C-alpha cells in the first residue's frame, strides 16, 4: 500500500455543502471545535437558506459551512475554499464558485444520480462528475451513501436513520486528511445520543469508517498538517457572535447589579440571543417573548422605567417596527439597548444573509430629531465587548443605545480568549433619592454633568413623577409647548449624545503607520477582511493603515484629526455607502467608498484590489 | 423607628394626596373628570403606599390621565400602554400597575396588545374609557362606534362593524371583565375596588361621555328617565332584575335570555341568578348588546360579568426564576463554557 504523503500547510479553508437535512452545520462545527482544541486559529461562516427544509435535493435547500483554520492568525473564514465537500449535485452547483482553481472536490456520487440531477435542474447529459467540466479540479468521487449503509447493515437501524449518519463519514475522512483526532467528536456523539445508544454507536462507527477509508484506500495521495497558531497565551474557547453578545449583556447585568429584562420577538438572525438569554434565569434574567416587535421594545421600556437593564433584540424589519418606541425612550431618557443583528434588506430581504445597511436607520430612522448612541461589533468575539459597552453607555448616560451586529458575525465563530469577571469594569447607575427634592419638589429632568437625568424608580417614596412622549420642560419634566423650550430640548438631547464622546476612548489604529497614503476606515463585521487585507498590503510595502470604528455615534473626538493624516480615506461597507455619508458630512473629506450589497462579506482580494487601484492613481 | 416617623408613615392618605399639581385640561363637561375623581377617591382605601402605584397610558384624551395623578406615571405612545405595563409588571411584580386607555387606543391601534395582556393575565388593572369616538383627533369614528355613524371620516355613515369590548375581553380569556359608567360614581368606585382586588388582569370598560364629539352616546343608560329600564346592574348571587319599579327580570330559556314581567306570574326565583364565575353565562351576558332602538332588546348590563382565578404571568415567571436560582449564577463559569483550551 502506498502511504499518503504528509504536507504541512499554513492554513486551509474547507467548505461543507449539502442538503439542509444532511447535517453540514454540525459537521462543520465539529471540525471547527476539534481544530480549536488542537490550537489552530480559525474563523467560520455558516451559509444556510432561509427555508428550514426546502425540497430535498434542490439548489434552494443547500446548506453550507465554511471553516478557515491556520497556524497563523486568522481573521476571516476565507475568500474561497481549498476543499469543497458536496453531498449532492445541487451543493456542487451552488458552491463551485467558492472553490479555488485547482481545489479539491469531495463528492458523494449517490447525490449525483438521475433524481438528484433533475431536482438540481441539471440536464441528464451534464453530470459534472462525468462530463469533464471539473477538469482542473482534484475530484474525489465516493459513494458515501453506499459505504455508510454497508457499514451499518447489522446496526438494526432503519434506512432513514442510517442515511442520517452520512455526514459522519465525511467528517471522519476530513479528520484523516488533516490529521485531526476523532475523540472529541466521539465524546460529542455519545453525549448527544445518550438516550439512544444504538444511534450513537452507528454514528461513531461511520465516523471511524470515514477515517479508515482515507487510511486504506489509495484515493488520497496527500495528508496535510496545520500546526498550532501562535496566539496570545491564555485560556480560550470557541464562540459565535450571538452567544458572545448574550454573555456581554449578562456580564453588564452582573457588573451593574441591575436585573436584565429582554423583550423580544423571534426573527432571523437575532433569535439566538433570545434563546440564549432564556437559559439563564439563574442570573435573574427575565425574558419576555412579546406578541410583536412593538410590544418587545415597549415592554422593555416598561421594565427600564421599573429599574431593569432593558434590552430588545431584533433585525431590520423588526427594528423598523420599533422606531416609534425608540423615539419614546429618547424623550423619556430611559436606558435601553436595541440590538440589531443586521440582515439583507429592504423589507424581508435576505433573512439569512449579511448586510450593513441599517446604519443610517440607526442614525436617523425616527420622526423628529431623535439622536441615539450607536455601538457596533466587529467580530464574533467582539460582540461580547460591544454588548457590554452598549449597556454601559445606556445606563451611565440614560439614553437608548443601538448595538449593531450582523448575520455574518452573529453566526460566525472564532476562538475567544475570554475575560474574567474581575477584568470587567463596573457599570454605575445614578439613582434619584428622596433627599434630592428641592423645596419639597422632585425634578425628574434635572441633569448631571453628562446631561443625563437620574433614574427615579417607582416604589421610591417621594419621587412620584410623570413622564411621557410629549415635549418636556427641562427640569420639571412637565408638558411644555413653549417654542424656545422645544428648541432647547432638541439641542439638549443632541448634546447629551455628543457628550458621550468624553467618556469613550480615542480612536486607535488597528494596524499601519500613523501617517500615510491611505487609511481604511471600517465598522462592524467587515473587520476580518479589512484586517487581513491591511496585513497583506503592508507586507507588500504599501503605505496603508486600518482603523475600525466601535463608536458610530458619537464618534471618538480624535477621529477627524486621524483622517487628515492620510492622503486618501477608503470606507468599505456592505451597503451602498452609509458611513461614508456621515464621514463626509461630519469631516468634509473626499472619502472613497468600496461597496458590496450581495448578502456576502468582503473578500480580502476585493479590498486589496480597491486599495491598489486608489494608490496607483 | 421613632414615634414621629411612625405617625408620618401611618398617616392615612386622602384623595387629595393623589391629585397632582398639573392643571386638568379635558374639555369642560368631559366624562373623564368623573372617572379621575372616582379613581382618586378609591386610591386611599386600597391600603398601599402612594409610591407603589403606577399609571400607564397610551395616546388619546383619556391617556392624559397619569399627569393628573400624584403617583408614578407614564403617558406613552398610541396603543402601547398595555405592552409597557406588561414589561413593568414582569420586571416589578411588587407595584400596583394601572393602564388607562380609550376605545381607539386599546381596541384599534393597541388591539393586539390588549388581547395578549388578557391571555397572559398580568395582575394589572386596565381601564378602558369608551366614548365611541376619536376625541383627541377631533371626531372620527372609533372601533366601538355604532354602524352607520356619521363622523368626519364617515360622511355617509360608518360601514365598520363595532367591537363589543366585554365580549372581546372574554374571548381573549380575560379573568376579570366588568362594565361601569362615568355618571354613576358609586358604582364606578365599587368596580374600581373590585378590579384592584382581583388578582389578574382586570378589564374595566367605562362608558364615558364625550360632550364635544359624541355627546349623549350613552344617555339612554345614564339619564334618570331611561336608566332603570335600559340598564341591568348585576350583582353576585342576585337575580337579574331591572325596570322602572324593578318589575322586569331576565330568565334563561335554555341558552336564550328572555325578559319576563314580574307582575305577570313570574317570581324572582325563576330568574337568572348572576354567577360571576360562570363563563358560559358571562358570555351570554356580554352579548346583551343590542341597540336600545331595537324592538324587544335586552337591557345593557353593568357590573362584574366574570371573574376567574388563574395564575398570573409574573408569578409564574418569578417561580421559574426562583427555581433556576437554586443552580447558582457564576458569570466566570458561564463565560468559560464547557470546552476550553490553553495556549502557552
- CA pair distance A459, B186, nearest whole angstrom: 29
Domains of chain B: 13-217+311-322 (3.40.50.970)
Answer yes or no: is pLDDT of A20 > 90: no
CB–CB contact A306 B92 (8 Å): yes
Confidence label for B271 from pLDDT (cuts 50, 70 and 90)? very high
Average pLDDT of the residues in A385-412: 97
C-alpha cell read off for A293:
416587535
Q: Phi and psi dihedrals of B280, rounded to 5?
A: -65, -50
B94: nearest CA partner in chain A: A459
Partner B contacted by A286 (CB < 8 A)? yes
Triad B236, B242, B244: Cα angle to 5° = 150
B50: nearest CA partner in chain A: A461
19-48 of B, contacting A, C-beta below 8 A: 20, 22
The label of the residue with cell 439563574 reads A282
Measured between beta carbons, the chain B residues lying within 8 angstroms of A329 are none
Closest Cα of chain B to A42: distance in Å? 14
Closest Cα of chain A to B340: distance in Å? 5
- CA pair distance B10, B8, nearest whole angstrom: 5
**In contact, A151 and A210? CB cutoff 8 Å:** no
What is the percent of chain A with per-residue pLDDT over 70, rounded to a whole number? Answer: 99
In this prediction the ipTM stands at 0.96
Closest Cα of chain A to B257: distance in Å? 36
C-alpha cell read off for B338:
464547557
Closest Cα of chain A to B172: distance in Å? 14
CB–CB contact A468 B76 (8 Å): yes
A184: nearest CA partner in chain B: B339
**In contact, B141 and B160? CB cutoff 8 Å:** yes
- CA pair distance B218, B182, nearest whole angstrom: 10
50-89 of B, contacting A, C-beta below 8 A: 50-52, 54, 56, 59, 66-67, 69-77, 80, 83-89
Measured between beta carbons, the chain A residues lying within 8 angstroms of B62 are none
Measured between beta carbons, the chain A residues lying within 8 angstroms of B66 are 466, 468
307-336 of A, contacting B, C-beta below 8 A: 307-308, 310, 324-325, 327-328, 332
Handedness of CA A367, A370, A371, A377 (dihedral sign): negative
Burial letters A268-286, b for 16+ CB under 10 A, else e: bbbbbbbebbbebbbbbbb
Measure Cα distances from A558 to A375, A504, A562 in Å. 17, 11, 6
Of A407, A359, A354, A378, nearest in space to A523 by CA: A378
Closest Cα of chain A to B111: distance in Å? 11
| pLDDT tens column, B103-142 | 999 999 999 999 999 999 999 999 999 999 999 999 999 9
**In contact, B66 and B100? CB cutoff 8 Å:** yes
CB–CB contact B92 A291 (8 Å): no
| pLDDT tens column, A90-142 | 999 999 999 999 999 999 999 999 999 999 999 988 999 999 999 999 999 99
Partner B contacted by A288 (CB < 8 A)? yes
The label of the residue with cell 455574518 reads A408
Partner A contacted by B112 (CB < 8 A)? yes
Closest Cα of chain A to B17: distance in Å? 11
Any bridge partners for residue B249, and if so which?
Answer: B241, B260
B91: nearest CA partner in chain A: A303
- CA pair distance A10, A226, nearest whole angstrom: 6
- Report how many Cβ contacts below 8 Å link chain A to chain B: 201
- CA pair distance B98, B57, nearest whole angstrom: 8
Q: Phi and psi dihedrals of B299, rounded to 5?
A: -70, 155
Average pLDDT of the residues in B258-274: 93
Triad B267, B271, B273: Cα angle to 5° = 130
* From B6-10, B59-63, B86-90, B166-170, the region with the lowest mean pLDDT: B6-10
- CA pair distance A480, A496, nearest whole angstrom: 20
Partner B contacted by A439 (CB < 8 A)? no
A237: nearest CA partner in chain B: B340
Partner B contacted by A478 (CB < 8 A)? yes
Which among A236, A459, A470 is the nearest to B340, CB-wise? A236
Which among B67, B76, B341 is the nearest to A236, CB-wise? B341
Query: Left, alpha or beta for A439 (phi > 0: left; psi -120 to 50: alpha)?
Result: left
Handedness of CA A146, A147, A148, A154 (dihedral sign): positive
**In contact, A172 and A208? CB cutoff 8 Å:** yes
Q: Phi and psi dihedrals of A437, rounded to 5?
A: -65, 145
Burial letters B121-137, b for 16+ CB under 10 A, else e: bbbbbbbbbbbbbbbbe
Of A197, A429, A462, nearest in space to A334 by CA: A429
Confidence label for A217 from pLDDT (cuts 50, 70 and 90)? confident
The label of the residue with cell 496585513 reads A535
| pLDDT tens column, B199-255 | 999 999 999 999 999 999 999 999 999 999 999 999 999 999 999 999 999 999 999
DSSP conformation letters of A442-511: --TB---TTSPPPB--TT-TT---EEESSPBPTBT--B---HHHHHHHHHHHHHHHHGGGGGSPPP--SB
Partner B contacted by A238 (CB < 8 A)? yes
Partner B contacted by A458 (CB < 8 A)? yes
- CA pair distance A455, A395, nearest whole angstrom: 9
> With 0-12 CB in 10 A as exposed, 13-18 as middle and 19+ as buried, what is A171?
buried
CB–CB contact A284 B52 (8 Å): no
- CA pair distance A297, A284, nearest whole angstrom: 19
| pLDDT tens column, A577-603 | 999 999 999 999 999 999 999 999 999
3-state SS, B268-291, equals: HHHCCECCCCCHHHHHHHHCCCCC
> With 0-12 CB in 10 A as exposed, 13-18 as middle and 19+ as buried, what is A5?
exposed
Triad B104, B107, B110: Cα angle to 5° = 85
| pLDDT tens column, A330-343 | 999 999 999 999 99
Query: Left, alpha or beta for A78 (phi > 0: left; psi -120 to 50: alpha)?
Result: left
Containing A427, the helix (H) or strand (E) segment is none
Q: Phi and psi dihedrals of A441, rounded to 5?
A: -110, 140
Measured between beta carbons, the chain B residues lying within 8 angstroms of A462 are 51
The label of the residue with cell 386607555 reads B101
Q: Where are the beta strands (DSSP E) in A4-70?
A: 5-8, 11-19, 41-47, 62-70
User: How confident is the model at residue B2, as a pLDDT?
Assistant: 41
**In contact, A237 and B340? CB cutoff 8 Å:** yes
The whole-chain average pLDDT of chain A stands at 95
Answer yes or no: is pLDDT of B5 > 70: no
Domains of chain A: 5-225 (3.40.920.10), 237-423 (3.40.50.970), 430-503 (no CATH), 509-616 (3.40.50.920)
Q: Phi and psi dihedrals of B328, rounded to 5?
A: 80, 160
Measured between beta carbons, the chain A residues lying within 8 angstroms of B318 are none
CB–CB contact B331 A254 (8 Å): yes
C-alpha cell read off for A528:
476580518
**In contact, A507 and A558? CB cutoff 8 Å:** yes
Q: From the CB of residue A234, how many other CB atoms can be counted at a distance below 10 Å?
A: 14
Measured between beta carbons, the chain A residues lying within 8 angstroms of B72 are 305, 458, 463-466
CB–CB contact A282 B20 (8 Å): no
Measured between beta carbons, the chain A residues lying within 8 angstroms of B340 are 235-237
Answer yes or no: is pLDDT of B4 > 70: no
Measured between beta carbons, the chain B residues lying within 8 angstroms of A298 are 76-77, 80, 83-84, 87, 113
| pLDDT tens column, B279-318 | 999 999 999 999 999 999 999 999 999 999 999 999 999 9
Query: What global pTM score does this model have?
Result: 0.94
Choose, out of A33, A299, A422, the residue to mutate when testing the contact with B (most B CBs < 10 Å): A299
Q: Phi and psi dihedrals of A314, rounded to 5?
A: -165, -165
Amino acid at each position: 500500500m502506498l502511504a499518503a504523503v504528509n504536507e504541512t500547510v499554513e492554513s486551509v479553508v474547507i467548505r461543507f455543502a449539502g442538503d439542509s437535512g444532511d447535517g453540514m452545520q454540525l459537521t462543520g462545527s465539529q471540525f471547527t471545535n476539534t481544530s480549536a482544541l488542537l490550537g489552530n486559529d480559525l474563523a467560520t461562516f455558516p451559509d444556510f437558506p432561509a427555508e428550514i427544509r426546502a425540497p430535498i435535493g434542490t439548489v434552494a435547500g443547500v446548506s453550507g459551512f465554511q471553516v478557515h483554520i491556520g497556524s497563523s492568525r486568522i481573521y476571516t473564514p476565507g475568500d474561497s475554499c481549498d476543499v469543497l465537500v458536496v453531498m449532492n449535485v445541487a451543493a456542487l452547483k451552488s458552491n463551485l464558485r467558492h472553490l479555488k482553481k485547482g481545489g479539491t472536490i469531495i463528492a458523494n456520487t449517490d447525490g449525483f444520480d438521475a433524481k438528484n440531477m433533475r431536482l438540481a435542474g441539471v440536464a441528464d447529459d451534464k453530470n459534472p462528475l462525468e462530463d469533464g467540466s471539473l477538469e482542473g479540479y482534484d475530484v474525489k468521487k465516493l459513494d458515501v451513501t453506499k459505504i455508510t449503509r454497508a457499514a451499518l447493515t447489522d446496526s438494526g437501524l432503519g434506512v432513514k436513520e442510517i442515511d442520517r449518519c452520512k455526514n459522519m463519514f465525511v467528517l471522519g475522512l476530513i479528520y484523516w486528511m488533516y490529521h485531526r483526532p476523532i475523540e472529541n467528536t466521539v465524546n460529542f456523539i455519545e453525549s448527544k445520543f445518550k438516550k439512544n445508544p444504538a444511534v450513537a454507536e452507528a454514528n461513531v462507527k461511520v465516523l471511524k469508517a470515514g477515517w479508515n477509508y482515507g487510511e486504506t484506500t489509495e484515493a488520497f495521495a496527500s495528508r496535510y498538517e496545520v500546526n498550532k497558531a501562535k496566539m496570545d497565551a491564555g485560556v480560550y474557547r470557541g464562540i459565535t457572535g450571538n452567544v458572545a453578545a448574550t454573555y456581554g449583556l449578562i456580564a453588564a447585568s452582573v457588573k451593574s447589579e441591575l436585573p436584565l429584562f429582554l423583550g423580544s420577538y423571534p426573527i432571523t438572525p437575532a433569535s439566538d440571543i433570545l434563546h440564549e438569554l432564556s437559559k439563564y434565569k439563574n442570573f435573574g434574567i427575565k425574558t419576555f417573548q412579546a406578541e410583536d416587535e412593538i410590544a418587545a421594545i415597549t415592554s422593555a421600556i416598561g421594565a427600564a422605567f421599573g429599574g431593569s437593564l432593558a434590552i430588545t433584540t431584533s433585525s431590520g424589519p423588526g427594528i423598523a417596527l420599533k422606531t416609534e418606541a425608540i423615539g419614546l425612550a429618547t424623550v423619556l431618557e430611559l436606558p435601553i439597548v436595541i440590538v440589531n443583528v443586521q440582515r439583507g434588506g429592504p423589507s424581508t430581504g435576505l433573512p439569512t444573509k449579511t448586510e450593513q445597511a441599517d446604519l443610517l436607520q440607526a442614525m436617523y430612522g425616527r420622526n423628529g430629531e431623535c439622536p441615539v448612541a450607536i455601538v457596533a461589533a466587529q467580530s464574533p468575539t467582539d460582540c461580547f465587548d460591544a454588548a457590554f459597552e452598549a449597556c454601559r453607555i445606556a445606563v451611565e448616560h440614560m439614553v437608548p443605545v443601538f448595538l449593531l451586529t450582523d448575520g455574518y458575525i452573529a453566526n460566525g465563530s472564532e476562538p475567544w480568549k475570554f475575560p474574567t469577571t474581575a477584568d470587567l469594569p463596573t457599570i454605575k447607575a445614578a439613582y434619584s433619592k428622596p433627599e434630592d427634592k428641592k423645596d419639597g419638589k422632585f425634578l425628574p429632568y434635572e441633569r448631571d454633568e453628562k446631561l443625563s437625568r437620574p433614574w427615579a424608580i417607582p416604589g421610591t417614596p417621594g419621587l412620584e413623577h410623570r413622564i411621557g412622549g410629549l415635549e418636556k420642560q427641562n427640569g420639571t419634566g412637565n408638558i411644555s409647548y413653549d417654542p424656545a423650550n422645544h428648541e432647547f430640548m432638541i439641542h439638549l438631547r443632541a448634546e447629551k449624545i455628543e457628550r458621550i464622546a468624553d467618556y469613550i476612548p480615542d480612536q486607535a489604529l488597528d494596524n499601519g503607520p500613523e501617517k500615510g497614503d491611505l487609511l481604511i476606515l471600517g465598522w462592524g463585521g467587515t473587520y476580518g477582511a479589512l484586517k487581513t487585507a491591511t496585513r497583506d498590503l503592508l507586507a507588500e510595502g504599501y503605505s496603508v493603515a486600518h482603523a475600525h470604528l466601535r463608536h458610530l455615534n458619537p464618534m471618538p473626538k480624535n477621529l477627524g484629526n486621524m483622517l487628515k493624516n492620510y492622503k486618501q480615506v477608503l470606507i468599505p461597507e456592505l451597503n451602498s455607502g452609509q458611513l461614508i455619508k456621515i464621514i463626509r458630512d461630519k469631516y468634509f473629506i473626499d472619502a472613497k467608498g468600496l461597496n458590496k450589497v450581495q448578502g456576502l462579506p468582503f473578500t480580502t482580494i476585493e479590498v486589496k484590489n480597491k486599495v491598489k487601484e486608489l494608490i496607483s492613481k | 423607628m421613632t414615634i414621629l416617623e411612625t405617625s408620618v408613615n401611618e398617616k392615612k392618605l386622602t384623595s387629595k394626596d393623589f391629585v397632582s399639581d398639573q392643571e386638568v385640561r379635558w374639555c369642560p363637561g368631559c366624562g373623564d373628570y368623573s372617572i379621575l375623581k372616582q379613581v382618586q377617591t378609591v386610591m386611599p382605601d386600597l391600603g398601599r403606599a402612594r409610591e407603589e402605584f403606577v399609571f400607564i397610558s397610551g395616546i388619546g384624551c383619556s391617556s392624559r390621565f397619569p399627569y393628573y395623578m400624584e403617583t408614578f406615571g407614564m403617558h406613552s405612545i398610541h396603543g402601547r400602554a398595555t405592552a409597557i405595563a406588561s414589561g413593568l409588571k414582569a420586571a416589578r411584580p411588587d407595584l400596583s400597575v394601572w393602564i388607562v386607555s380609550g376605545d381607539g387606543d386599546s381596541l384599534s391601534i393597541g388591539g393586539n396588545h390588549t388581547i395578549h395582556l388578557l391571555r397572559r393575565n398580568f395582575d394589572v388593572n386596565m381601564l378602558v374609557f369608551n366614548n365611541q369616538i376619536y376625541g383627541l383627533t377631533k371626531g372620527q369614528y372609533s372601533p366601538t362606534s355604532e354602524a352607520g355613524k356619521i363622523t368626519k371620516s364617515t360622511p355617509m355613515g360608518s360601514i365598520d362593524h363595532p367591537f363589543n369590548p366585554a365580549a372581546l375581553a372574554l374571548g381573549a380569556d380575560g379573568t376579570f371583565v366588568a362594565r361601569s359608567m362615568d355618571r354613576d360614581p358609586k358604582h364606578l368606585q365599587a368596580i374600581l375596588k373590585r378590579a384592584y382586588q382581583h388578582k389578574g388582569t382586570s378589564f374595566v370598560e367605562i362608558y364615558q361621555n364625550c360632550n364635544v364629539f359624541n355627546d349623549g352616546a350613552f344617555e339612554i343608560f345614564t339619564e334618570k328617565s331611561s336608566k332603570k329600564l335600559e340598564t341591568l346592574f348585576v350583582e353576585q348571587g342576585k337575580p337579574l332584575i331591572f325596570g322602572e319599579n324593578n318589575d322586569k327580570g331576565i330568565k334563561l330559556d335554555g341558552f336564550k335570555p328572555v325578559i319576563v314581567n314580574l307582575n305577570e306570574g313570574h317570581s324572582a326565583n325563576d330568574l337568572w341568578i348572576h354567577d360571576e364565575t360562570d363563563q358560559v353565562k358571562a358570555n351570554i351576558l356580554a352579548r346583551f348588546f343590542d341597540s336600545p332602538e331595537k324592538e324587544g332588546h335586552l337591557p345593557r348590563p353593568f357590573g362584574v360579568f366574570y371573574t376567574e382565578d388563574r395564575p398570573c404571568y409574573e408569578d409564574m415567571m418569578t417561580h421559574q426564576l426562583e427555581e433556576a436560582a437554586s443552580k447558582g449564577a457564576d458569570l466566570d463559569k458561564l463565560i468559560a463554557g464547557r470546552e476550553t483550551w490553553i495556549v502557552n
